[in-house]
C-alpha cells in the first residue's frame, strides 16, 4: 500500500522509499465503533477494518452504540462472518448514540476500564468532527492508539477530499431534486429545498450543480452577503417557469422555512414551497464509490495501527490514502472552492 501523510510525518509514497516508521507493533486486538450521525458506507468500513485486523492476526471487537457502548461495556468479539452481507447496507450494524457520560472524566475512565477488561489495545473510530474530537481527548488521557475514519455525509473534515457517505447523500439529494423539478415546473413555483450540512455547504452546492438548480444558499457565503436578496434581484432566471434553490440547514442561512417566509413577506408575487429532505439523506444503500472508499479506509486504519500511528484520521487526497492528525482534521470548516461556485453561477444563468 502506498501511503503519504497530509502535513504530517509519513514520507513514503513508493515501495522503494525508506519508511521512517517501524512495522513492529504491540497491538494484538482492536475495537471498532461508529459515532455521531450515521452515514452510508459505515458498514463497509466496519467490514474492511474487521477483516483487515483478523488477517493480521488481531482480535477484533465491535463496540455497540458508540461511546455510550464503550462506557456501558456493550462490546462483542467479531469474527469474519460477523460482518458478512453488510457492505450493501446503509446505517451501521454497530448502532450509534450520544453519550453524556463520555463527556466526563469519570465516564471516559469507565470506558478505559472496559477496554482493559477486554484487552483491547487500540480503537478505530468511524464518525465526524465531534467523534474525532472525543477520540483525540480519550487517546491523550489514557495513552491509547486511536485511528479515525471520516464517516459523515457533510464532507466537512479537513485533509480529505471526501468523506464516507457523502457521495451517497449527494446522489440521494440529486434524485429527490429531479422528482421535485417535475412538480415545480408543472405549477410554476419557487422551491426551497433544505439539505444537511450544518456550517458546511458542500452538499447544497454540489447537489445544486448536479440537479441543475438555480442557486445554493450556503453558510460560507451567507456570512458575507444577503444571498436571497441577490437572487431576487437577478429574477431567479425569468426565462424559466420554475426555480429550485438548495439551502443548507444552518443558523447562518436561516434554513428553508425562514427564507420562504421572507419571500412571502417581501416578494409576495412568488408562489413558494419548501421541502426539507431531512434524514432521508442519511439512508439508503451506499454507492459504489462510498463502498470502495470505506473499504480502502478501513484497511488503511489497521495498516496505520500496525505502523504505530495514533491520533490520526485516514483521509484520501488525489486518490492516495493519507494520515491526517486529528487536530488538523477538525480545526476549522473546510473551504468552498471558488471554481465550484463559478460553475453553479455560469450553469444556472
Catalytic site residues?
Answer: 154
The residue among 245, 243, 262, 264 whose CA lies nearest residue 254 is: 262
Q: What is the DSSP string of 4-51?
A: EESSSS----STTSPPSS-------EEEEEE-SS--TTHHHHHHHHHH
The Cα–Cα gap between 87 and 76 comes to 20
Residue count (the chain): 349
Q: Can you tell me which residue has the cell 429532505?
A: 277
The Cα–Cα gap between 228 and 70 comes to 45
Using alpha carbons, list the distances in angstroms from residue 325 to 77, 146, 196, 286: 28, 11, 26, 27
Q: What is the DSSP string of 269-321?
A: TS-EEEEE-GGGGG-SPPPHHHHHHHHHHHHHHHHHHHTT--SEEEEEETTEE
The Cα–Cα gap between 289 and 189 comes to 34
Burial profile 211-247: b = 16 or more Cβ within 10 angstroms, e = fewer: bebbbbbbbbbbeeeebbeebbeeebeeeeebbbbbb
The Cα–Cα gap between 328 and 158 comes to 7
Cell of 161: 477530499
Residue 48 CB neighbours (<10 A)? 24
Amino acid at each position: 500500500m502506498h501511503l503519504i501523510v497530509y502535513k504530517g510525518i509519513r514520507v513514503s509514497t513508493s515501495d522503494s522509499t525508506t519508511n521512517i516508521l517501524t512495522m513492529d507493533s504491540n497491538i494484538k486486538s482492536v475495537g471498532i465503533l461508529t459515532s455521531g450521525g450515521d452515514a452510508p458506507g459505515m458498514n463497509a468500513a466496519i467490514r474492511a477494518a474487521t477483516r483487515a485486523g483478523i488477517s493480521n492476526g488481531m482480535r477484533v471487537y465491535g463496540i455497540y452504540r458508540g461511546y455510550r457502548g464503550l462506557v456501558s461495556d456493550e462490546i462483542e468479539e467479531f469474527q469474519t462472518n460477523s460482518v458478512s452481507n453488510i457492505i450493501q447496507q446503509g446505517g451501521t450494524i454497530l448502532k450509534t448514540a450520544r453519550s453524556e457520560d463520555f463527556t466526563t472524566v469519570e465516564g471516559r475512565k469507565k470506558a478505559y476500564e472496559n477496554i482493559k477488561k477486554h484487552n483491547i489495545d487500540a480503537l478505530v473510530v468511524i464518525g465526524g468532527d465531534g467523534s474525532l474530537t472525543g477520540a483525540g481527548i480519550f487517546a491523550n488521557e489514557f495513552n491509547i492508539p486511536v485511528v479515525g475514519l471520516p464517516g459523515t455525509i457533510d464532507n466537512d473534515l479537513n485533509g480529505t477530499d471526501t468523506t464516507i457517505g457523502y457521495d451517497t447523500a449527494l446522489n440521494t439529494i440529486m434524485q429527490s431534486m429531479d422528482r421535485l423539478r417535475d412538480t415545480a415546473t408543472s405549477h410554476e413555483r419557487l422551491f426551497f429545498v433544505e439539505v444537511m450540512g450544518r456550517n458546511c455547504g458542500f452538499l447544497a452546492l454540489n447537489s445544486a450543480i448536479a440537479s441543475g438548480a438555480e442557486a445554493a444558499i450556503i453558510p460560507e457565503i451567507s456570512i458575507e452577503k444577503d444571498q436571497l436578496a441577490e437572487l431576487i434581484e437577478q429574477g431567479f432566471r425569468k426565462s424559466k417557469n420554475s426555480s429550485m434553490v438548495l439551502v443548507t440547514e444552518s443558523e447562518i442561512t436561516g434554513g428553508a422555512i425562514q427564507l420562504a417566509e421572507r419571500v412571502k413577506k417581501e416578494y409576495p408575487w412568488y408562489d413558494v414551497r419548501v421541502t426539507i429532505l431531512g434524514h432521508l439523506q442519511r439512508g439508503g444503500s451506499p454507492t459504489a464509490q462510498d463502498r470502495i472508499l470505506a473499504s480502502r479506509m478501513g484497511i488503511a486504519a489497521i495498516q496505520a495501527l500496525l505502523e504505530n500511528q495514533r491520533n490520526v484520521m485516514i483521509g484520501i487526497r488525489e486518490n492516495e490514502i493519507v494520515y491526517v492528525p486529528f487536530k488538523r482534521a477538525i480545526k476549522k470548516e473546510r473551504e468552498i472552492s471558488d471554481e465550484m461556485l463559478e460553475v453553479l453561477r455560469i450553469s444556472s444563468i
